[in-house]
Amino acid sequence: MRNFPDWLAAYIEYAGFSEAPKRMHFWSAVSAIAGALRRRVWLNMGYYRWCVNHYIVFVAPPGIVSKSTTVAIAMDILRKVPGIAWGPDIVTWPALVTAFAASMESFTVEEDYHTQCALTLESSEFGNLVNPTDREMIDLLVTLWDSKQGGFSKVTKNSGSDKIENPFINLIACTTPAWIAGNFPEYVIGGGFTSRCLFVYTDQKEKLVAYPIYHIPPGMKETQARLAADLEHIATNLVGPYVLSGEAREWGESWYQHHYSHPPAALQDEKFGGYLARKQTHLHKLAMIIAAATRDELVITAEDLQLANVQITDLEVDMPKVFARIGRSEDSIQAERLVQFVIKNSPVSYSAAYQFIHHAFPFCSDFEGIVVGAAQAGLIKFNKETWMLMKP
């Protein structure tokens, strides 16, 4: 029997004492439920299955929110669930083979025998976990995200042919926009890997909490234990294929038509084409998790799909910010910093603006060109009489 009618809602309330936005708590909880469910549930699409694993990446400038702490609150609960296997801190093929082998287990669904090798990967620094320039490893993560039924084989020089039965990787990690700009080559953006990731971006705190210890809700340990017990219930009792209710199927078909005929304006750039093609998959993966958070019945309702759509679409507004610096010159990046500085502190004197950005434009003529260009583009206003820069 469950302690909470909605595990996701209960977790968000439990973790709400921290400064992180609710969307980060929501996606941390999603990762925890996905890690508990593993390959034990799926949605059958005939030629393939959708499993519940996610690649979730928290992205925020340094010092804005405690990304790793936010992730750890949820993962600490998942670690209390027996039988959950954890992946290596650094993803290499040998390390994955070892971890997959140790995680292998079996279960039955209506007398049918199933095996799985399911891992959850957690990292406070995405760069320590994955090397985006390692094409072979990126391609491997792409394949593993699809959670294809059957064995996965890979030929290596040292050990010959390694085979893994029904692999499953659930990943949550943290990084900054600057790290993505400096380490993600352009060919990765819009390709197979990033389109399989959900990037949760924030550039501001939900609230200011100087001393979290004084904001911890009473009975925190007891609530954590109840959340862990419910997560263990989910991990143990939910097994088998999900099905769509009649209303869910109707809603999903209508959504599919609208999705391809009215793509979101914020994602018109071709780099987001891969993500848009996989949004339906993201949608149903999340819908299964929302269903699992509220009931044991393996049925996806129209309401599950609608909530999943709201939560995923909410991320899309900020997706361009995640990759905004990829392929850009240093001058254009510094010019953007200047514009943001002016908008945040408007009005700003010409001399104060130059002091702020002087390290990037030591020659006054270069700085003048940046100011004139930003003003002509309508990003800022420049009053030549008072020599003040203002937001538009």
Q: What is the DSSP string of 252-318?
A: HHHHHHHHHHS--GGG-SGGGHHHHHHHHHHHHHHHHHHHHHH-SS-EE-HHHHHHHHHHHHHHHTT
- Inter-residue contact 203 to 60 (CB < 8 Å): yes
Instruction: Report which of residues 84 and 271 the model is more confident about.
Output: 84
CA distances for 280 relative to 3, 91, 257, 328, 369, angstroms: 31, 27, 11, 31, 45
The most confident of the ranges 89-93, 256-260, 315-319 is: 256-260
Whether 124 and 58 have beta carbons less than 8 Å apart is answered as: no
CATH 2.60.40.10 applies to domain 7-322: no
Reply yes or no on whether the pLDDT at 105 is more than 80: yes
For the cut 70, the answer to whether the pLDDT of residue 14 exceeds it is: yes
Q: For the chain, what is the total number of helices (H) and then of strands (E)? A: 15, 14
Does pTM surpass 0.95?
Answer: no
Mean of pLDDT values over 362-384: 87
Mean pLDDT, range 89-108, rounded to an integer: 88
Q: 35-39, 81-85, 130-134, 343-347 — which is least confidently predicted?
A: 130-134
Residue with token string 């750890």 = 72
Mean pLDDT over 151-178 rounds to 80
Distances (CA, A) of 126 to 13, 174, 194, 252: 27, 5, 13, 33
The whole-number pLDDT of residue 191 equals 64
Cα–Cα nearest to 170, from 86, 242, 91, 95:
86
Of the candidates 128, 106, 130, the one whose C-alpha atom is nearest the C-alpha of residue 55 is 130
Q: What is the pLDDT of residues 313-367, one digit of tens each?
A: 999 988 888 877 666 667 777 888 888 889 989 899 988 988 998 888 888 888 8
In degrees rounded to 5, what are phi and psi of residue 328? -100, 155
Q: Which of 146-160, 172-186, 251-265, 373-387 has the lowest mean pLDDT?
A: 146-160
* 24-52 average pLDDT score: 96
Give the pLDDT of residue 93: 81
Strand residues in the chain grouped as ranges (E): 41-44, 49-50, 55-59, 105-109, 112-123, 151-156, 160-165, 167-175, 197-201, 240-244, 299-300, 348-349, 381-383, 388-390
Secondary element (H or E) of residue 81: none
C-alpha separations of 187 from 57, 138, 375 in Å: 19, 11, 33
DSSP bridge partners of 240: 41
Q: Are 62 and 95 in contact (CB under 8 A)?
A: no
What is the percentage of the chain residues whose pLDDT exceeds 90? 47
- Residue 155 has what pLDDT? 63
pLDDT reading at 160 higher than 60: no
pLDDT at residue 328, as a whole number: 67
Q: What pLDDT does residue 329 have?
A: 67
Residue 105, class by beta-carbon neighbours within 10 Å (0-12 exposed, 13-18 middle, 19+ buried)?
A: middle
Domain ranges (residues) in the chain? 7-322, 330-390
